Structure 1
Amino acid sequence: MIETTSGWLRRCVPTRDQLERNRFVRPFAGRVLRSDLWRFSRRSVPRGVALGLFVGVLIPFAHSIVAAFCAVFVRANVPVAIATTFASNPATWMLLYPAAYEIGKTLFHLERASGLTPISATMEHTQTDHLLQNLTGAGLDTAVGLLVLSIVLSSAGYAVSALVWRGIVARRRCARLAQARIAEPAG
């Protein structure tokens, strides 16, 4: 039987009450459980989608916890941020990791061909290479590719979710206006 998206979300994403009872969240409950972070609005939902995709692609494990805590700082919708981290799963890793490796390899190949300061030298000097490798658990080529993919996918997710949100609101408004025209007395 095919499960609906809302049923899947209800089953997988924790509710506010479940998080309130969680002993790990309890010290941060005042910040994480603010009502504006759980309200669906035209600004918080696209932020949640972008944050969830960014964290889900870049961080392989415990990404839903990281997304929930990061949502506090960017005022994103917490359930949406947690739910969109599940876009990165073992099935999508088979596509993401080879693509990330190719992107990283291409970027490092292009830096050797150009006369500019190499990205890898800058990353080594600032220790960003170690940070990315530790964060992603992958080699430098793949880690840089994952960073690029997470930026691109989160930007696209933000744009698409903002457009979808706008379309839903416009459709509801048109339906309300049509109902109001029908309900008006003639004459």
Structure 2
Amino acid sequence: MTLSARLQRLIPTREQLQAGRFTRWLAPWLGQRRLWRLSRHGVALGMAIGIFFGLLIPIAQIPASAAVAIVLRANLPAAMGSTLVTNPLTFGPIYYLAYQAGSRIVGKPVPNAEAEIARITEELEAEERVTGEPPSPWQRLQALGKPLIVGLAVFAVIGGLLTYALVSGGWWLWARWRRRRRRLQPS
């Protein structure tokens, strides 16, 4: 089975996306063939969009990447699938590194980020005991403040650009290798 056939099996169908709870609102645009075609530019752009939104925002990543992929005519499944770069296993390390990088960029390097994050978490827990309501994800992000947001923005831009370059370059090398292999095969 070829790589293209394997990828096609993993890609959700238009019907599945049109029936999906979070993607139903995209139904009028899902008929565009360009959104589903496996092309070098479309897949690279779709993955770059997905990585960008996967790193930049903690919630509603898939709908945001789908909307931008439709506008930019990128590969929709690649955009939606690559948002999963942040998942329960990678979320913590990515946000920790983004906080560290953001604090350096902002000019407030934190010598002991673990202690700073623990202090912020204790403040949020104390507020929860007073109000009786757990803090929302947005309140948690605000408590970490500017360093985290700056770090995530930098990671998102660099990650998106790097993803586009790597996928496009890798696709080009793979196509070149296949053409060369075909030329060298005896007829």
Question: With structure 2 as the length reference, what TM-score do the two structures score?
Answer: 0.71
CA gap 1:29/1:137 in 2 versus in 1, 3 angstroms? farther
1:152 aligns with 2:185: no
Offset, 1:60 = 1.1
Distance 2:82 2:18 in 1: 21
1:169 aligns with 2:167: no
CA gap 1:171/1:109 in 2 versus in 1, 3 angstroms? same
User: Residues 37-52 of structure 1: matches in 2 within 5 Å?
Assistant: 37-52=35-50
Distance 2:169 2:83 in 1: 20
**Structure 1: gaps spanning 5 or more residues:** 111-131
Match of 2:102 among 101, 104, 113: 104
SS of residue paired to 1:175: helix
CA gap 1:38/1:160 in 2 versus in 1, 3 angstroms? same
8 Å contact 1:44–1:77 — kept in the other structure?
Answer: yes
Offset, 1:157 = 0.6
Distance 1:134 1:32 in 2: 35
Matched residue pairs, number?
156
CA gap 1:24/1:53 in 2 versus in 1, 3 angstroms? closer
* 2:66 aligned residue: 68
Provide the aligned C-alpha RMSD in A.
3.1
User: Residues 1-187 of structure 1: matches in 2 within 5 Å?
Assistant: 14-22=12-20, 25-109=23-107, 139-179=145-185, 182-183=186-187
**Structure 2: gaps spanning 5 or more residues:** 109-137
1:70 partner letter: V
Q: Deviations over 1:12-42 (max 9, x none)?
A: 7532121233466455323233110110111
Question: With structure 1 as the length reference, what TM-score do the two structures score?
Answer: 0.71
Distance 2:166 2:16 in 1: 30
1:54 partner letter: F
8 Å contact 1:47–1:77 — kept in the other structure?
Answer: yes
Distance 1:98 1:42 in 2: 33
